[in-house]
Structure 1
Amino acid sequence: MHPMLNIAIRAARKAGNHIAKSLENADKIQSSQKGTNDFVTNVDQEAESMIIEVIKTSYPEHSIIAEESGLLEGKDAEVQWIIDPLDGTTNFVKGLPNFAVSIAVRIKGRTEVACVYDPMLNELFTAQRGSGAQLNNSRIRVNPSKELTGTVLATGFPFRQKQHSESYLKILTGLFSECADFRRTGSAALDLCYVAAGRVDGYFELGLKPWDIAAGELIAREAGAIVTDFSGGTDYMKSGNIVTSSARVVKSMLKHIRENGNEAIIK
């Protein structure tokens, strides 16, 4: 195992266990709004501090991009840890047990290792570039679906960018005319991992942040999925718009996105 993946797993488990334990004392969870329909809790912040501490103990010179702390520059700017301490905060606040810790390491702009940990199910999704993806150390693979018909797709509503809701709903309607059904779980990191594990056949969402995507997209790609932005390119870390599935299903999904999306989201 890559030594940085080992540290990422250690940090994710520590943070995840703290998050799960915090639900036992729900009255001590303090929630506040940091943006439009975007929440943060004291537990997010505590979990993030734990992750940073684990990373800095082993790699004090590495840079870190964290959802709550922002950019923490280190002497070694070529190595970046991208952290989402609690992906699915709204679920967590509501007591819905679908959230995860997401950690990725990018070296010279390329994601090398990733882990996503679901503490409620004790499921650890991991990947190393070029070495495949695993769920609790067992190899996972994307469903090799050849057509959109019969697929179950995951998505997330653009709650941060409601100006795109009309365009998004047109895309959703177009896809729904062909696919079997949709799932909307509330955690982008887990949606990407569920594509990797074959639990859903594809996933699309717009307006995401780098920490929502960084770990899950490597896990999906290493499981054999195609990952693109809405124009079919690979600029999803910058645009925040992502599509993933098997090659043929991605092609069909992109067709609906192009036909129904507006120019502002298809760049």
Structure 2
Amino acid sequence: MAHLSPILSIMSEIANKASPRLRRDFGEIELLQSSEAGATAYAAKAAKRVTKQIYAELATARADYGFVFRTGEVVKGPDKTHRWLIDPIAGQTNFAHAIPHFGIAITLERTQDKITAPVASLIYNPISDELFHSENGSGGFCNNNRLRVSQKQSLTGAVIACSHSPLIETLQKADAHIRISGGDAMDYARVCAGRLDAIITPDVALWERACATIFAQESGGLITEHKGAHKNLFIMGGESVCTLIKEAISN
């Protein structure tokens, strides 16, 4: 495991503490696939349990910090300059369908000189035991491996995560290969590891944007946005591929 700073050590330890129960829940989910409603409800309960555990642990470790949860709930702390952004099961629909492409996502934001930016983030997949983490100025890692975005220079053969159906045909005409995984946070990590060349997502939530921003920053990636007729698109990847994607979807 790459050296972790004190704050990332806290985040990693808390994610790992929440993981054994989440693995057991995933095993139970696999047995519930004959009942879609049952699996969905069980996944929601699992997310609540993980949220409660992570909240309790982080509140103990940094009692003054605030919280923003995936549900939109906000807990303000005495320290107005720091807050945690929590997604207990990033990729919850995958989890509910027994697809092991999900993770615990925790990001720390800091406000300084009226500018709010992420300072550390992690995504932990308890099934694959992959810990993706990034910290401002310290780089990004997956376990012991340094994260670097791919240097793909063409859309031909590029592997792009995209679930926005109006774009799929356009990208395929450029000979790109499209993947729809259902787990944007995990895909941000895979882009930064060079496993995907880019990801395109509409309507990115606050916690997703913060997570993606620091991962891209620390792995040499680029984030850009495209304002379409119906959706604002969030594009992340290597600089060349992101530029080519914007050109393709603008034509």
Q: TM-score, normalised by structure 2?
A: 0.86
Distance across 1 between alignment mates of 2:80 and 2:18: 24
Q: Which moved more, 1:118-127 or 1:39-48?
A: 39-48
The 1:214/1:18 distance shift into structure 2, 3 A limit, reads farther
Counterpart of 1:91, as a letter, is: N
Q: Is the 8 A contact 2:118 2:214 kept in 1?
A: yes
Q: 1:243 aligns with which of 212, 235, 240?
A: 235
Secondary structure at the aligned position of 1:229 is classed as strand
Q: Is the 8 A contact 1:209 1:240 kept in 2?
A: no
Counterpart of 1:31, as a letter, is: T
Q: Which residue of 2 aligns with 1:256?
A: 248
Q: Is the 8 A contact 2:117 2:210 kept in 1?
A: no
Q: Which residue of 2 aligns with 1:11?
A: 14
Q: TM-score, normalised by structure 1?
A: 0.82
Q: Deviations over 1:219-264 (max 9, x none)?
A: 2321111012225xxxxxxx974101111111111123333xxxxx
Whether 2:196 is the aligned partner of 1:205: answer: no
Q: Which residue of 2 aligns with 1:148?
A: 155
Whether 2:127 is the aligned partner of 1:127: answer: no
Q: Which residue of 1 aligns with 2:170?
A: 174
Q: 1:88 aligns with which of 65, 84, 91?
A: 91
Q: Deviations over 1:75-127 (max 9, x none)?
A: 11210111100011111111111111111111011111010001110000001
Q: Is the 8 A contact 1:88 1:100 kept in 2?
A: yes
Secondary structure at the aligned position of 1:254 is classed as helix
Distance across 2 between alignment mates of 1:240 and 1:81: 25
Whether 2:59 is the aligned partner of 1:50: answer: no
Q: Unaligned 5+ residue runs, structure 2?
A: 33-37
Counterpart of 2:185, as a letter, is: A
Q: Which residue of 1 aligns with 2:220?
A: 224
> How many residues matched?
236
Percent identity, please: 25
Q: Is the 8 A contact 2:139 2:146 kept in 1?
A: yes
Q: Which residue of 2 aligns with 1:138?
A: 145
Q: Is the 8 A contact 1:15 1:85 kept in 2?
A: no
How far is the alpha carbon of 1:30 from its aligned partner? 6.2
How far is the alpha carbon of 1:140 from its aligned partner? 1.8
Q: Which residue of 2 aligns with 1:160?
A: none
Q: Unaligned 5+ residue runs, structure 1?
A: 33-38, 157-167, 232-238, 260-267
Q: Which moved more, 1:107-116 or 1:211-220?
A: 211-220
Question: CA RMSD of the aligned region, Å?
Answer: 2.2
The 1:16/1:240 distance shift into structure 2, 3 A limit, reads farther
Counterpart of 2:124, as a letter, is: Y
Distance across 1 between alignment mates of 2:175 and 2:216: 20
Q: Which moved more, 1:218-227 or 1:70-79?
A: 218-227
Q: Is the 8 A contact 1:143 1:198 kept in 2?
A: yes
Q: Which moved more, 1:145-154 or 1:20-29?
A: 20-29
